Amino acid sequence: MRPDIVPGGIFPNYELPDHTGTLRKLSEVQGEDPLILTLARGHYCPKEHQQHLELAAFYPKIAVAYTQIATIATDEHHTLQEFRASVGAQWTFLSDPDRTVQKDLDIQEYTDPEHNPMIPHTLVLKPGLVIYSIYNGYWFWGRPSVVDLWHDLRVVTSEIRLDWDLSTPGLREAWNGVTSRVFTDGTSMLVRKPPRYHTRSSRLRSTAVSNGEQIMASGTAENRFL
């Protein structure tokens, strides 16, 4: 694996055709959410089927948790569609028969010259394709279980959703109304009252009051039904 592909690094924003033939960038697939990314050998490998069957069973939870998932495989278009359908996947599959990712990341599985696949990896990415965790799946037990992914995604989500803990000092005030917040340098700003409902694409801003407490007022928030 390329030496810069480590936790805290930025994963390349590859653009590849998806299972419908549409060119997609990874950043487009991810949006502003965490992303589970699997780099797969392809349809021929039974280990890939086992991992992706487990992910397909886990997918309803992924979907309600505002998390995205994508699979990159070296299969050509029709084989990729068969792979996706055979495991019951509902997420984006990207086709890379030219081995662009394999070559760029230096993950050729040289022990299988017949298929010339990528060494399988699973990554959990924060928004902005920031790498949180990497799993090498050459041996099957190196791949993450859904429990491993759940633990990773709990940490990632708690870091990026500033309303993770509604008891955070100042969050209720920022939610309920327009208030003046005074900074330690004497300057001030207004935190405007949000609408009665908002979506996770809405923004809050983070300000500091004079006693140093953080007011959660910037970041992505989940849907609210009041």
Q: Write down the H helix ranges in 19-111.
A: 26-30, 46-64, 77-86, 100-105
Q: By the 8 A CB rule, do 221 and 161 touch? A: yes
Q: Write down the H helix ranges in the chain.
A: 26-30, 46-64, 77-86, 100-105, 146-160, 171-176
Residue 171: predicted pLDDT: 82
Residue 170: predicted pLDDT: 81
In terms of residue numbers, what domain contains 154? 15-160
Average pLDDT score over the chain: 84
Angle, helices 46-64 vs 77-86, to 10°: value is 70
Span 13-68, pLDDT tens digits: 999 999 999 999 999 999 999 999 999 999 999 999 999 999 999 999 999 999 99
How far is CA 68 from its chain centroid?
A: 5
Q: Are residues 53 and 89 in the same domain?
A: yes
Does residue 8 form part of some domain? no
Residue 193: predicted pLDDT: 47
Which of 133, 160, 187 terminates a domain? The answer is: 160
Span 171-213, pLDDT tens digits: 887 777 645 444 455 554 444 544 443 344 344 444 333 333 3
Residue 198: predicted pLDDT: 39
Does residue 226 form part of some domain? no
Residue 175: predicted pLDDT: 77
Residue 139: predicted pLDDT: 98
- What is the tally of structural domains in the chain? 2
